[in-house]
Amino acid sequence: ARNLLRQYSTAPPYPGPAFAFDIDGVLLRGRSVIPAAHHALNSLYDQSNERWRAPITFITNGGGTTEAARAQKLTDMLNVPVHEQQIVLSHTPMKTLIDAYKHRAILTVGNPHCASVARSYGFQHVIDTETLAHIHTHSAPFAKVDHVQPSPGDYLVAKMPVAVVFVMTDSRDWGRDIQLLLDVLRSDGHPKRAHSDKQTVDLYFSNPDILFPNEYHMPRLAGGSFAVALRAVYRHVTGTDLQYVQFGKPHAPNYQLAESVLRNQLMYMGYCPESMPAIYAIGDNPPSDVRGANARGDPWRSVLVRTGNFQGQNDETDTAHVVFDNVAHAVQHALEQHD
């Protein structure tokens, strides 16, 4: 890879803009496509040569799916080919933890796909909270876990001490998950054992968004709200603060991955990967999309659109470089800046 980089470092710099599209509230709203998204992406995709005209990444605080499945869903909905390597999900940085936890037990929180997503990253011993609640009968008294059918492998993982908790997407049962995490995070990894004074199990959150827009007329609670609730209960019960690492926009690891996606595309297009063009981060959520791009600084440019969370002129706290009604106008603006 280093040789390849050296070979391309003499290539010309890419003259146009690069794009980092937020998904929910910019391209999609729940299960519907925002009409301007078709226009925006069609203007960036060269149908006759079957390739993108610009380096593009999709950076979302969504998750609970593999990058490949998310890419396929976008391809189907938007009618342009999206590759799994263009996708940065909220939990994609968890891949980078492989050396620390590959052979240790991991507890996932989220939807029923999360355990297999973690396995797809290479982690060997993964169990989710729903399965753990079923195995430890009565541990989550109000949860419906009768339908769960643990595999023989699940029973083996359940005997190992949990080394780390990955909160990968919105909890499907806050009561069950807060109860189980409270047990696990106060133990030596065996939730049925006596509580220890010190937190020895690691915790990683993804999506820190408090709200997200769907088809409902008001934004709904998102992954960050679950984290607020868990931290509050933990603090109340233990008198100490929960220790954790946060991934997801606006945090740097997701932007670093987006930059490496764009660098790979620059190389593939025959341009110098070390000379990064202006990256237009088009989002609808000021505390995630704008704050993240602004914190990264040059060559990132924050662009707000009014098709999701944000409505108004500009945000006072997380102020975008520019604001447009929709993603089609935002893309047109970016292209005009680099004619």
Q: Which residues bind Mg ion (CB under 5 A)?
A: 22, 24-25, 284-285
Q: Which residues contact 117 (CB under 8 A, 6 or more apart)?
A: 63, 64, 65, 66, 91, 108, 168
Of 17, 25, 189, 191, the residue at the interface with ligand G3P (CB under 6 A) is 25
Alpha carbon 35 to chain centroid distance?
Answer: 24
Please tell me whether residue 212 binds ligand G3P under the rule CB under 6 A. yes
Instruction: Point out which span in 16-24, 65-73, 147-155, 250-258 binds ligand G3P (CB under 6 A).
Output: 16-24
Phi and psi at 108, nearest 5°, equal -105, 145
Instruction: Work out how close the CB of 169 gets to ligand G3P at its nearest, in angstroms, rounded to a whole number.
Output: 8
What helix, strand, coil percent values describe the chain, rounded to 5?
40, 15, 45
Of 14, 18, 20, 23, the residue at the interface with ligand G3P (CB under 6 A) is 23
Of 61, 111, 187, 225, the residue at the interface with ligand G3P (CB under 6 A) is 61
Please tell me whether residue 259 binds ligand G3P under the rule CB under 6 A. no
Instruction: Work out how close the CB of 316 gets to Mg ion at its nearest, in angstroms, rounded to a whole number.
Output: 19
Instruction: Work out how close the CB of 329 gets to ligand G3P at its nearest, in angstroms, rounded to a whole number.
Output: 18
Please tell me whether residue 222 binds ligand G3P under the rule CB under 6 A. yes
What would the two tokens of residue 80 be? 């342009």
Nearer to ligand G3P, 61 or 179 (CB): 61
Please tell me whether residue 24 binds ligand G3P under the rule CB under 6 A. yes
Please tell me whether residue 209 binds ligand G3P under the rule CB under 6 A. yes
Amino acid at 36: A
Instruction: Report the C-alpha gap between 337 and 339 in whole angstroms.
Output: 6
Nearer to ligand G3P, 105 or 167 (CB): 167
Burial class (CB in 10 A: 0-12, 13-18, 19+), 163: middle
Please tell me whether residue 93 binds ligand G3P under the rule CB under 6 A. no
3-class SS of residue 229: helix
Instruction: Report the C-alpha gap between 201 and 189 in whole angstroms.
Output: 6
First to last CA, the chain: 32
Binding site for ligand G3P (CB under 6 A): 22-25, 60-62, 207, 209, 212, 222-223, 285
